[in-house]
Amino acid sequence: MTIAVGDRLPQTTFRVLTDEGPTPRTTDDIFKGRRVLLVGVPGAFTPACHRNHAPGFVANVDAFKAKGIDAVAITSVNDVFVLGAWAKALGAEGKVEFLSDGNAEFARATGLLFDGSGFGLGPRSQRYALVANDGVVELLSVEEAAGQVQVSSAESILENL
């Protein structure tokens, strides 16, 4: 079952790249006591994610914060090192948090997993954007197709906040 507005985010553990190396961070570590905009993408460096989706969130961090968002985060079913390289490539270090869901635990637990095996990608996150306030979903926009960037775009989310 897919997570919905009003649901609490499931307890899972992400990995983030820090100066000390890969570091585990739980759902509570990230969402407790904060209003967080979480963007789910099928894959770092993939064309739609890299060119059309993630850059809008990086460019609009201040606009999101002006609308009451405490943090912007991006998650993907990629390893923590790939997400670290992607953050650098996007110029997002210190602006956006990158959360590795390398084993697809969060994507699976939220019901936002899709099978990209037909493209040689294996299990992946659907493309979405959600806002969680203290871990409870208050806005959820899921794309119908992985290559689309419409309802989950930075511009669309800004309009709906």
Residues carrying an active site annotation: 49
> For residues 38 and 96, what is the distance between their CA atoms, to the nearest angstrom?
10
Nearest Cα residue to 23 out of 105, 81, 93: 81
The beta strands (E) that lie in the chain are given as: 13-18, 21-26, 35-41, 71-76, 97-100, 113-115, 123-125, 128-133, 136-142
